[in-house]
Amino acid sequence: MKKIALLMLCFGFLSAHAQLRNNDVYEETEMNHSIVRDIIRIPDIGGYQTLKCDFHTHTVFSDGKVWPDVRVNEAWRGGLDAIAITDHIEYRPHKDIVKGDLNESFKIARKRGDEIGFIVIQGTEITRSKPLGHLNGLFISDANPMDVEDPLEAIDIAIKQGGFVMWNHPGWPDDKSTLYPVHEQLIKEKKIHGIEVFNYMEYYPVAFDWCKETNLAFMGNTDIHELISEDYGSHKLSRPLTLVFATEYSEKGIKEALFAGRSAAYFNGQLAGKAEHLTALFKASLVWKVKHADMGAYEVSNMSDITYRFTCNNKLYILPAGKAVGLVLPKEGKITILNCYTGMNEHLEIDLPL
């Protein structure tokens, strides 16, 4: 019966049925989007898996607009490998309607993650005005004891639970990214482990230098409150990501990599990270075919979803995502990759020959 209905639908004979619905319409038409996800092509590097993660998301349990399992579904559908749920401790405007303690949103999201084999990391956002600002405790086991007056005590509790502490959006809300003495002290005491260099739709270039100089993890996250599609559209790779270079696809693998500073931040076609990681990503993205060896002529296929732009001897070259281009390069010298940042005013440089 369903097949007949489907055939009739294909040939436009709708009038024979008063109603077609659910499986009559969707079965065998590949229209079930809940089982389809994007593939983000960013290569693995040097023995590590490159995992696409977002370590900063909100739900209705703080000031977000969605139920926690929706966060998991949309991240899975967008091609991510892991997210953290990081509702505010101190700011919960719906708490009279949405019941539950500070771990509830994570529990709901984790349950959904377990159902579909997707990693959900427990986190929370310690929320204060500047100078301290906002910090996420990630990989924590219980957010409830962190609800204390002194934010430095909350950080200590996160660390006692084995937590990774990320300094969030250092430029927000005054457009000034300032490394205050309290941050210098926390970094010195190894109580800040990573910094968001991209958050939502903002960049904080000075934070590239802080990560580089203090060997902290480069992080790029959405801090999403609405549906992802409302803020970023439905295009692949439109949301900021933290790329984690992990030894294994597990929460343990992600945590180990972040504490070791093996990460890079991606947003809007730009990458920020350590030179060794960005060099490896660039090289692993490309397949070179020699056309004329003596002329230095190549056909280069960019197998990744990241378009690279570089200069060599003041000439601009573009390697579009998923395309092959013909180009001629000198045998020696350097290329400067414009969309890869290793510091505030520093682009990635790679020696020729590649």
Shortest distance (Å) from residue 278 CB to Zn ion: 27
- Part in contact with Zn ion (CB under 5 A); list of ranges 112-120, 121-129, 201-209, 315-323: 121-129
- Select 84 or 319, whichever has its Cβ closest to Zn ion: 84
Which 199-228 residues touch Zn ion, going by CB under 5 A? 223
Q: Which among 345, 349, 325 has a CA at the least distance from the CA of 336?
A: 349
> Residue 242 in contact with residue 55, Cβ under 8 Å?
yes
d(CA 108, CA 102): 12
Closest separation in Å from C-beta 71 to Zn ion: 13
- Phi-psi category of 100—alpha, beta or left, where left has phi over 0 and alpha has psi -120 to 50? left
Closest approach, Cβ 127 to Zn ion, in A, equals: 6
Instruction: Give the residue with the Cβ less far from Zn ion, 42 or 84.
Output: 84
Choose between 169 and 277: whose C-beta lies nearer to Zn ion. Answer: 169
Residues 140-169 that bind Zn ion (CB under 5 A): 168
Which residues lie across from 284 on neighbouring strands? none
Task: Give least dist CB 163 to Zn ion, A.
Answer: 16
Binding status of residue 134 toward Zn ion by CB under 5 A: yes
User: Between 168 and 285, whose beta carbon lies closer to Zn ion?
Assistant: 168
**Cα–Cα separations (whole angstroms), residue 109 to 69, 71, 198, 199:** 5, 7, 24, 22
Measuring CA to CA, how many Å separate 273 from each of 202, 208, 337, 350?
16, 7, 13, 14
Contact flags string 276-305 toward Zn ion, x per CB under 5 A: ------------------------------
Q: Is 193 in the site for Zn ion (CB under 5 A)?
A: no
φ, ψ (nearest 5 deg) of residue 351:
-75, 145
**Closest residue to Zn ion, based on beta-carbon distance:** 134
Q: How far is the CB of 251 from Zn ion (least distance, A)?
A: 21
CA distance 197 to 145: 28
Paired sense of beta strands 263-267 and 82-85, if any? unpaired
**Can you give the binding site for Zn ion, defined by CB under 5 A?**
125, 134, 168, 223
